[in-house]
Structure 1
């Protein structure tokens, strides 16, 4: 093994949770002008998170999506569409 190479590890061996995102019922029509931030794939870029164009949902909608809350230092990875494979690390915001 080259000294610059690191051994490969499986994600399940180095993570506490692997999951996929969710959206509220009604899709775009359910978004609000303000409220709880909802991250979408268009917010995830290679190595950076853009908070422009965040969607917003109500407390009630957020409660239904409580299993997909983003924490500091989470890795966001787009898995579908034109932005597939873009990923970034979340910060403390």
Structure 2
């Protein structure tokens, strides 16, 4: 965040705080459908973002795809190409 100007840093903090308030105020409703779960494999702590953690929020199938990167690298070209390779056929099929 050091590359951001003060106003942008303030806005990021405000969004984070608001999201935290919203999470405490109301429980998330379950999504009635299937979930594609993309998990970064590098630097991940055991048990974080596993299929079981999502079960209370998803009624359908949870399909896990592991991506060989850190979470912060998921938006880089290589990992994004891997995600696109999984998502593209599903979008085309609809």
- Could you say which structure has the higher strand fraction? 1
Rg comparison, structure with higher value: 2
- Compute the TM-score of the two structures, normalised by the length of structure 1: 0.22
- Could you say which structure has the higher helix fraction? 2
- Compute the TM-score of the two structures, normalised by the length of structure 2: 0.22
